[in-house]
A and B are shown apart, each in its own frame.
Chain A
Amino acid sequence: MELLGFSLPSYGWSTIFGSTISGVFLGSIYALVAVGLTLIYGVLHIINFAHGALLMLAMYAVYFLWNILGIDPYLAMLIVVPGGFAFGYGLQRFIIGKASHGKDEITLLVTLGVAIVIENMALFFFSATERSVRVPYDLDGIDLGVTYAVYPELAALVGSFLITLALWAFMTRTDTGKAIRAVSKERQGAQLVGINVDHIFAVTFGIGVACVAAAASLLVPTYAVHPQIGSLFVLIAFTVVVLGGMGSFVGALVGGFLIGVTEQLGRLYLGESLGVITISVIFIFVLLFRPTGLFGVKAG
């Protein structure tokens, strides 16, 4: 097989299909991390550098709930999601919001500071040791012929769809969702009609962190937890958000899958190290033709 004069390795269809399916699984993880980010980034216009650190913190919470209390990582969602919301609400209302004085550039630095504090505290309290969760269904799954899909991967895939659907329903069907959209479109106008903007900002941030907490529950059975785990996903999640269109949940989901499949096929043909450049190539390519992202709308 040749591409632009380079000869690429040839693989059987089973390997190519298998790689595509593994790309879908990887994409679902990117989408899970990206949906919370797109809410905060797209709706509030906050570049949340602490997103990866918050993911890591939530993963530790899930790990300790399993390790100390024996709670299954998926059941832990019932605790970490409300906990994540409360933490996110408090973080935005009492730290980020107050410290940034409504200025975007200060917000950016504050979230960066929060990330540094959380990561270093995790290193201090939890040490650098990687911690893995063992669940009884760890190796069980469905044989798809070309590849074997284990239950934790399938759960992440289903979870990414359900979380996206729930967020979409929340934003379009509830009064709070409408208030969030109103604040994102016209902050002063929203204030004039009686919406508490500070409260809505904090609620939005809280929902974003709750999404990250849900993602953490779905990631922990597959990925070991350590203080740097967030950075492994968050940079690609930013790419997914911009690619899908800022503030678009469907965009985050589709963008996640697109990046996941592209990355896996790129790694298959170009090698594990060089293959990741395909993420940047597809990112630039999409933005050249659709500057607002796949599902984004023009501002104003």
Chain B
Amino acid sequence: MTRDISNKSRRDFIKIAGATTALTATGVFSPFVARAAAPVKIGIVHPVTGWAQYSGSQARFGAQAALKEVNAAGGIKSMGGAMLEAMLGDAQSKPEIGAAEVEKFNEGGASAIVGAYASNICLATTQAAAKHGIPHVVDVGVSDKIVSRGLENTFRFGPGFGAITKAGVESFLAINKAAGSPTKTVAIVNEETTGFGAGIAKIMTKGLAPAGIEVVEVLSHPTPNKDFRNIVLKLKEIDPDVLIPSHYYNEGVLFLRTLQRQKVQPKAIYSVLGGASSQFRFLSEFPDAAQYVMDCNHWFDPKNPAAKALQAKTNAAGLHFNYEVFLAYTAMMFTVDAIERAGSSNRAKIMEAMASSKWSGSIMPYGPTVMDKGQNTGARPLVTQVMGDKINVISPSEYASTSAVFPRPA
């Protein structure tokens, strides 16, 4: 009996092997062969619970959208069509949990990591990834500390806080000059828990002083913050010409609504990474509070068709096409490009490919990619302003669809 089965198996094996060889040679089984390549694991870590849950979930969507797009287009071509496999991690809005997720990614064999939204979480996850030599692409975290610690595994494709603030100062001075220089005083309202905006007062003071504009007050607050009445009362007393807020989404909403409730109307609200100031969600929920708010922030190239396609996909998923989505999407695409060029899931090879990247397929309005100690020096922000039901780009001129409304109408 055993003999019979074994004979039958041998015959079957010869038949199947022959047929498979023939079909593979003719290309019939090529998709099967392509899928057989070992998948490349990528850790995606974001705060999908805790205070940053909304933004973290949005960022996760962006990273996953890029990953799905790459897989649908045939995976990593230089690796025989290897599929990308997401390893999802929840940092729970806490740096130490984010670092623990990185340990799991390491044990699970991740080739690279994309994440982790907030600056303080990114500082922890990049450091934990550095211990294991895992390349880590920071999607949103803008603190300049992230790329100034000499970690060879850490890369940021988007601009950092210093670069954004300097660009913000330049654009504001141009807008102010075009309006006849009505600004004499500004007040800064910034978050201090995650430290992404550390140094804003120094950069602003230095940048605005030559134009005769004084930074009269810097009001810092924690994240999360449940009440802005005190800050708004102080602003009422100081009465600056322009307010410069810099914080996360929830605080941005609460701050702008408190200003509206307390009838405080400066000549302009000009955010630098304003959280809510250039968010479609805020505009749809609180259109009155959002009117004429300007924001120097991450923004996609409005002329890029791929950006519009991603916007449609994001809206179809019931989400908002905010900076978390397109930054995480771009960070993942940058990672994929590096893996493609490395032709390997080897961490060191991917890191080398990232460091020498010249990637130009981004949906962002960036110049050529040039990595300097992990920071893409070609990255830059745009300045937007809410007008009616639209968020228009107002600066720099090559991307602007309209000019700024400043001072804003009462």
Contacts and interface: CB of A to CB of B under 8 A. Distances in A.
Interface stretch (B24-32, B198-206, B258-266, B334-342): B258-266
Interface string A223-267: 110111000100000000000000000000000000000001001
A128 B48 CA distance: 7
Contacts of B48: 128
A127 B227 CA distance: 24
A204 interface: no
Interface string B238-274: 0000000000001001000000111100000000000
Given A15-B233, A128-B49, A272-B219, A26 B227 contact: yes
Interface string B34-65: 00000000000000111101101100000000
B220 interface: yes
Place the interface of chain B in its size category.
20 to 34
A273 B229 contact: no
Nearest to B285: A132
B225 A272 contact: yes
A19 to B, nearest CB: 5
B220 A272 contact: yes
Nearest to A274: B222
Given A12-B237, A129-B57, A228-B51, A272 B231 contact: yes
Contact of A11 (B222, B226, B234): B234
A234 to B, nearest CB: 13
A19 B261 CA distance: 15
A154 interface: no
A224 B237 CA distance: 28
A15 B222 contact: no
Contacts of A223: 226
Given A11-B234, A232-B224, A226 B229 contact: no
Contacts of A146: 233
A228 B57 CA distance: 15
A268 interface: yes
A25 B228 CA distance: 13
Contact of B233 (A19, A123, A128): A19
Nearest to B50: A228
Nearest to A233: B226
B235 to A, nearest CB: 10
Majority-rule SS of A interface residues: loop
Contact of B229 (A22, A129, A139, A232): A22
A127 B318 CA distance: 12
B271 to A, nearest CB: 18
Contacts of A271: 220
Contacts of A273: 192-193, 220-222
Contacts of B233: 14-15, 18-19, 22, 146-147, 268
Contact of A272 (B49, B222, B253): B222
Nearest to A9: B234
Contacts of A14: 233, 236-237
B2 interface: no
A152 to B, nearest CB: 9
Given A132-B285, A147-B229, A273-B193, A224 B262 contact: no
A272 B230 contact: yes
B56 A128 contact: yes
B225 to A, nearest CB: 6
A187 interface: no
Contacts of B263: 148
A127 B53 CA distance: 9
A150 interface: yes
A103 B54 CA distance: 39
A130 B219 CA distance: 25
Interface in A1-45: 11-12, 14-15, 18-19, 22, 25-26
A73 to B, nearest CB: 16
Given A18-B233, A19-B233, A147-B229, A272 B53 contact: no
A148 B261 contact: yes
A178 interface: no
Contacts of B231: 272
B336 to A, nearest CB: 26
Contacts of B230: 19, 22, 264, 267-268, 272
A59 B148 CA distance: 44
Interface string A80-121: 000000000000000000000000000000000000000000
A40 B262 CA distance: 37
Contact of A139 (B193, B227, B260): B260
Interface of B: 48-51, 53-54, 56-57, 192-193, 219-222, 224-227, 229-231, 233-234, 236-237, 250, 253, 260-263, 285-286, 288
Given A14-B236, A128-B57, A267-B230, 7 more contacts: A12-B237, A25-B229, A129-B57, A148-B261, A148-B262, A226-B53, A228-B49
List 6 A-B pairs, minimum CB-CB distance, nearest first. A128-B53, A272-B221, A22-B229, A273-B222, A18-B233, A15-B237
29 contacts: A12-B237, A14-B233, A14-B236, A15-B233, A15-B234, A15-B236, A18-B236, A22-B230, A22-B233, A128-B48, A128-B54, A128-B56, A129-B54, A129-B57, A130-B250, A132-B285, A139-B260, A146-B233, A147-B229, A147-B233, A148-B263, A224-B250, A226-B54, A228-B49, A228-B51, A228-B53, A232-B224, A271-B220, A273-B220
